[in-house]
Structure 1
């Protein structure tokens, strides 16, 4: 009952901050906009409805997907240091974006499509290679193949940077890799919504199985769970949603790494509570970071820089805090 109350309060805070962030920005002056202005200023209404609202909704979706997927990966791999882009997804998306910028130009549609394609290709290649490794358990094989594929895409990204025009293409690649939601529109939001929403729903409905999958396979079988099948479902849905959101946002680090730790700290390791908590905390984290990014300075700070900075600080706080263990 106590954890249900915490989830309710967390949801209430998320709703309130979302509504508040709609009126925070640099128009008509830096600070909080008077809501009554929407009735008299047509430009303010268009700004809120066509720029801020899709951007805010995308930031909520981005945080929910990265944090929820991060907790899924950490539970399945029994490793607190893995994150959603672990199986070659993040590096694949980065390579795809750079590939599109160099060979197909700066079209946002092509960049997003190429990033999503190579991100999913990273997962497919990791799975394909893991099936052909002849030693170790399934989890170990996935980890090894994911490391290898990430290294290959990272090397490919280096080659793309080397081949890029240093005056135009290279700065664009670098800026995309920093992450940001400055160009998000309603079209971008609705493109990533179906995959992300389906993934979040599947993860939420199956979240109790993660508690069992964290046990050994024999125990999981005895409790009526098919470990390999369910792990594939979790990995595919989480990775597909991650590929979708980072194709729009670019590389946004630390959300999928640090937020699951915070969720487990306050909601314990029972995934019936920690999964929805991680999703809402991730949405809050990216919403706050993105609001800071577009508000504090006239020149927008890339979202990936803020999430890395704040995430690293939070990580140090968790490491040096009094409570170093995880409650079960």
Structure 2
């Protein structure tokens, strides 16, 4: 990217983000105009619009922005750690570990909060195991050891996930 474009990228992206956030406050089953959404955001609109915007749409919009920022920060951390712009969460087995946790939660018949908790715990456990194994192997390139350990752990978690799918009752 040319250096002359870089100073204008961040303000432009911020304007686009604000525009889409404003648009998200207008769209839905209860349609509102941009002006109605602004009034509802300030609490001066009609009561139903105020409730829809402040209690439903604004928290969802802010949540989406925060989750997007967290995912971007995690992606940047991965890229910095592995010095590779094409790195993905699969490289440390996070996705496979989280998938295994979710499948295990479904296999055990847990409610959705339990499934989500097991998925989170599975992702964290996968990374912890990869890091522990990476520290145990001393005489090699650390990045290479982390990548290979993550790929192996991801394959193992994928195999266990497949086993649980086969063992699961298809009618339950």
1-structure distance, mates of 2:90, 2:61: 23
Match of 1:138 among 142, 160, 168: 142
Runs (5+) with no aligned partner, structure 2: none
Q: Could you tell me the TM-score, scaled by structure 1's length?
A: 0.44
Structure 1, residues 133-152: CA drift from partner, whole Å, max 9, x if none?
35421111111111111111
Distance in 2, matches of 1:48 and 1:163, equals: 46
Structure 1: which 5+ residue stretches go unaligned?
169-328
Structure-1 residue corresponding to 2:158:
154
Question: Which residue number corresponds to residue 14 of structure 1?
Answer: 17
CA distance in 2, matches of 1:90, 1:53: 29
Q: Partners in 2 of 1:46 and 1:114 — Cα distance?
A: 34
CA shift for structure 1 position 104: 4.2
Alignment partner, residue 3 of structure 1:
6
State the secondary structure of the residue aligned to 1:65. helix
**1:232-281 deviation line (CA, Å, top 9, x unaligned):** xxxxxxxxxxxxxxxxxxxxxxxxxxxxxxxxxxxxxxxxxxxxxxxxxx
Q: CA deviation at 1:78?
A: 2.5
- TM-score, structure 2 normalization: 0.79
Residue 116 in structure 1 maps to residue 120 in structure 2 = yes
When residues 47 and 111 of structure 1 are mapped into structure 2, their CA distance, relative to the original with a 3 A threshold, is farther
Q: Answer yes or no: is the 8 Å Cα contact 1:104–1:110 preserved in 2.
A: no
Supply the distance in 2 between the matched residues of 1:49 and 1:162 (Cα, whole angstroms): 45
State whether residues 90 and 154 of structure 2, in contact with CA within 8 Å, keep that contact through their aligned partners in structure 1: no
* Residue pairs, 1:166-177, within 5 angstroms: 166-168=170-172
Structure 1: how far apart are the matches of 2:91 and 2:60?
26
| Residues 187-208 of structure 1, C-alpha deviations (whole Å, 9 max, x = no match) | xxxxxxxxxxxxxxxxxxxxxx
Point out the more displaced range, 156-165 or 13-22: 156-165
CA contact (8 A) 1:66 1:84 kept: no
SS at match of 2:87: coil
Deviations 1:84-107 (A, max 9, x none): 3421111111111111122142x2
CA contact (8 A) 1:87 1:150 kept: yes
Matched positions, count:
162
Distance across 2 between alignment mates of 1:65 and 1:160 = 31
C-alpha contact (below 8 Å) 2:98/2:120 kept by paired residues: yes
CA contact (8 A) 1:97 1:115 kept: yes
Decide which structure has the larger Cα Rg and report it: 2
Displacement after TM superposition at 1:41 (Å): 5.9
